[in-house]
Amino acid sequence: MVENGNILRSLKEQSETHAKKFDTVFNKIDSMQAILAGARKARPALSDGTQLLFFADYSLGTREERQGYRDSREAPAEGIDSF
């Protein structure tokens, strides 16, 4: 499923004690969600005896923009109907 994404950068090789990271951008949010859901359901994946971790890491701008929508998401719970 990674064919839907583009590897942006890979950190330089570090010592074996440091985590290695690569960032991926997906063209469709569904692809990213499917990979994250599959990673959560599967047994831990190992690479050379080290567990691989998968997580979403959104940019600061994206996180701030989404926080601006918080009031809209919480409105129905407070009895406010959308229009």
Going by C-alpha positions, the residue among 30, 24, 29 that lies closest to residue 2 is: 24
pLDDT at 16: 52
Going by C-alpha positions, the residue among 39, 9, 37, 7 that lies closest to residue 25 is: 7
pLDDT at 1: 39
**Using an 8 Å Cβ cutoff, are 7 and 23 in contact?**
yes
pLDDT tens for each residue of 18-67: 566 667 777 788 888 888 888 778 877 777 777 777 777 777 888 788 88
pLDDT tens for each residue of 66-80: 887 777 777 777 777
